[in-house]
Structure 1
Amino acid sequence: MKKLIAIIIIALSYNTAQAQIFSGERVLNQQNFDQQRWSWGYFLGLNSYDFNFDYEDYNPSPVTGQDLVVEKRMGFNVGLVGNLRLNNNIDLRLEPGVNFSTRGFQALRADANTYREISSTYVHIPLLVKFNANRLNNFRPFVVGGVSTSINLSSNENNPDDNSAGQFRMTTNSYYYEIGFGIDLYLYYFKLSPSIRGVFAINDELIRDSDPNSLYTGNVDKMSSRAIFVNFTFQ
């Protein structure tokens, strides 16, 4: 699915550029859009969340090369966009939204069934700097980067039960850095901005089990989320 979306974005951008550069088209849509001090919009998108593990004693499974394995699944993003124009090529952007994700999680070095399904609902708030190239007809490439925080509404952080009772626990608050790229497409009625962004947690998100030898947490020095977002912003 991620590869298909990336191919669609590239094909759409290529076709738009080819039509405007080689056909001589010079009709500009939304000519004054980027002159606004403030602009607003919303985004819809997909996500794929994963975990990155640092181990205290690295002794991986000979089959997979890991002690703990994560099954990634596709999730959904939705949110709002507030954009402040700083100059012709730099914008400051706030994108509060809600991300829904599900991950499968399993400890491999055990005979028992250790599979856990982790469903998370994040209130995700990034503050981003958007670096824009100069506009060429009706498209404009950009790169974006910044920091963000999220509230995991399904964290189980304060749940007294741990994995021995089937409850996987994470911290409620997390902090990230983000980096990505995309393209602004100036259509007749609005501006469409498809983008791909990598999101990487900075803090340790794992709440340890009471048992220091737990299969899930005993050998983990740090567990942090990482994700890929594919968003379509409408302004």
Structure 2
Amino acid sequence: MKKHLIIAFVLISVLPAHAQIFTNNEKVKNNPNFDKQRWSWGYFLGFNSYDFNFDYIDYIPSDATGKDFSSDRTIGFNVGLIGNLRLNEHLDLRLEPGVAFSRINFQFYKGEVHAFREINSTYVHVPLLLKFSTTRINNFKPFVIGGLSTSINLSSNQNNPDDNKDGQFRMKTNAFYYEVGFGIDLYMYYFKFTPSIRGIFGFTDEIVRDDDPFSTYTRNIDKMSSRGVFINFTFQ
């Protein structure tokens, strides 16, 4: 799934740019004054694929495959707004509050214990990012982007009194991440269209451990953090 998302992004992004690079004449520029605005606004739609990264206290593989946990990524959906502040010709500060819907099919392998959890999450995701752009070439402009973000997991179950022994997987409501990615601004006649791909990497512990300190499920977890891939299509 992840590879298919990346391939689709590359095709959508590269083909328009390829057509413009290998032309003999300079194109007529669409929206030539767009990037001179101090502030600009927009919205984005996109897809995501989430996963978990685990650090163990004592790593002792629990099954023949050498895994304590495994997860099956699925494709989720993103939607949100964009506020962009132009700092100079090549640098912008962006706030991109949005909502991300995701699902992870998650399995525990603990000796004879083999448990399945379907983890459905709804995140209010708020990144603050710096966007570094090249000089505009005809009607496109590549960029790299990175920064920090936070999220509120509306489906976290953090305060649920039930835990894994009752079939409930619990996560903390708040988490923090760093993000890095790239994309291409494509200047259309009436608006700017931007496909981009971004990786997000959690750096805080997001798991709520079971009430039993000797729980088969959580006793050996030192840290669990989210990671994911976002493919967004922005309209400004």
Q: So what's the TM-score if we normalise by structure 1?
A: 0.95
CA distance in 2, matches of 1:122, 1:49: 11
CA distance in 1, matches of 2:64, 2:50: 23
The residue that corresponds to 2:139 in the other structure is: 138
The residue that corresponds to 1:81 in the other structure is: 82
Structure 1 residues 11 and 69, CA, compared in 2 at 3 Å: closer, same or farther? Answer: closer
Give yes or no for contact 2:62–2:111 (8 Å, CA) kept in 1. no
The residue that corresponds to 1:115 in the other structure is: 116
The residue that corresponds to 1:224 in the other structure is: 225
Q: CA RMSD in A?
A: 1.4
The residue that corresponds to 1:22 in the other structure is: 22
Q: How does 1:1-235 map to 2 (within 5 A)?
A: 1-23=1-23, 24-235=25-236
Q: Which amino acid aligns with 1:148?
A: S
Q: Which amino acid aligns with 1:185?
A: L
Q: So what's the TM-score if we normalise by structure 2?
A: 0.95
Deviation (angstroms), 1:62 = 4.9
Q: Which amino acid aligns with 1:59?
A: I
Q: Which amino acid aligns with 2:21?
A: I
CA distance in 2, matches of 1:215, 1:188: 59
Q: Give CA deviations for 1:159-197 in whole Å, capped at 9, x if unaligned.
A: 111111111111000011000011101111211111110
Q: Give CA deviations for 1:41-93 in whole Å, capped at 9, x if unaligned.
A: 00001001100000111011453322111121111100000000000000000
Structure 1 residues 12 and 118, CA, compared in 2 at 3 Å: closer, same or farther? Answer: closer
CA distance in 2, matches of 1:18, 1:31: 20
CA distance in 1, matches of 2:156, 2:64: 30
Deviation (angstroms), 1:103 = 0.7
Give yes or no for contact 1:68–1:216 (8 Å, CA) kept in 2. no
Structure 1 residues 21 and 70, CA, compared in 2 at 3 Å: closer, same or farther? Answer: closer
Give yes or no for contact 2:152–2:175 (8 Å, CA) kept in 1. yes
Structure 1 residues 161 and 15, CA, compared in 2 at 3 Å: closer, same or farther? Answer: closer
Give yes or no for contact 1:150–1:175 (8 Å, CA) kept in 2. yes
Give yes or no for contact 1:46–1:231 (8 Å, CA) kept in 2. yes
Question: What secondary structure does 2:186 align onto?
Answer: strand
Question: What secondary structure does 1:47 align onto?
Answer: strand
Matched residues, number = 235
Deviation (angstroms), 1:112 = 4.2
Which consecutive unaligned segments of at least 5 residues does structure 2 have? none
Q: Which amino acid aligns with 1:22?
A: F
CA distance in 1, matches of 2:73, 2:130: 28
CA distance in 2, matches of 1:19, 1:146: 31
Q: Which amino acid aligns with 1:119?
A: N
CA distance in 2, matches of 1:129, 1:77: 20
Percent identity, aligned pairs only, is 65
Question: What secondary structure does 1:7 align onto?
Answer: helix
Q: Which amino acid aligns with 1:16?
A: P
CA distance in 1, matches of 2:202, 2:113: 30
Which consecutive unaligned segments of at least 5 residues does structure 1 have? none
CA distance in 2, matches of 1:43, 1:108: 38
Deviation (angstroms), 1:11 = 3.1
